[in-house]
């Protein structure tokens, strides 16, 4: 006769039944091996994205301090125009900032809605920033993968619309 109630199977449950229940619970709770690997991968991705956002925020701040010539050398036009618009704004050059933003919108509205939203958020234009984030969402803009960790959008984070956007994208706060 088989003994009941071991240290591995509490409450008299058969050890095999107990292990199956643990596997289901671990899978459901994300504590199983696959859940741990996935959580580590997502944490690493979030750290990389935070570092990328931090580098761009630092670049814009450095340009604001040292001059705009450096930012004008950035090769990928939507990013260059975004950074020029932010740097010029930080330098107090409203006209030049608006010119760069207008050029970004004219040339890259269909593929750069997220970058427009970044520039607008940096400039403190929350309403327009959210309009362009919505456009980015509708266009399935790849930049939205950074929305939670993008430091250029920090001014939008406390707004209820930001939480609503994360919820719409099925992202936790």
Q: What would the pLDDT profile of 75-94 be if each residue is shown by its tens digit?
A: 688 888 998 898 888 888 89
- Which sign does the torsion angle of CA 97, 72, 147, 46 carry? negative
pLDDT at 15 over 90: no
Q: What would the pLDDT profile of 121-140 be if each residue is shown by its tens digit?
A: 999 999 999 999 999 999 99
* Residues 173 and 142: beta-carbon distance below 8 Å: no
Model pLDDT, residue 24: 41
Q: What percent of the chain has pLDDT over 90?
A: 42
Helices 113-122, 94-108: inter-axial angle, 10-degree rounding: 160
pLDDT averaged over every residue in the chain:
74
pTM above 0.85, yes or no: no
Q: Tell me the mean pLDDT in the region 89-110.
A: 93
């Amino acid at each position: 006769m088989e003994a009941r109630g071991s240290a591995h199977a509490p409450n008299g449950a058969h050890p095999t039944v107990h292990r199956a229940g643990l596997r289901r619970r671990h899978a459901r709770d994300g504590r199983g091996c696959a859940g741990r690997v996935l959580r580590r991968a997502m944490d690493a991705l979030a750290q990389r994205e935070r570092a990328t956002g931090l580098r761009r925020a630092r670049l814009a701040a450095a340009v604001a301090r040292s001059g705009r010539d450096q930012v004008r050398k950035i090769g990928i036009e939507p990013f260059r125009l975004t950074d020029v618009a932010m740097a010029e704004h930080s330098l107090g050059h409203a006209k030049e900032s608006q010119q760069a933003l207008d050029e970004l919108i004219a040339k890259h509205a269909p593929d750069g809605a997220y970058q427009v939203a970044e520039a607008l958020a940096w400039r403190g234009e929350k309403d327009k920033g959210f309009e362009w984030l919505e456009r980015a969402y509708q266009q399935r803009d790849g930049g939205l993968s950074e929305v939670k960790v993008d430091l250029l959008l920090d001014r939008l984070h406390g707004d209820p619309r930001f939480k609503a956007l994360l919820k719409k994208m099925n992202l936790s706060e």
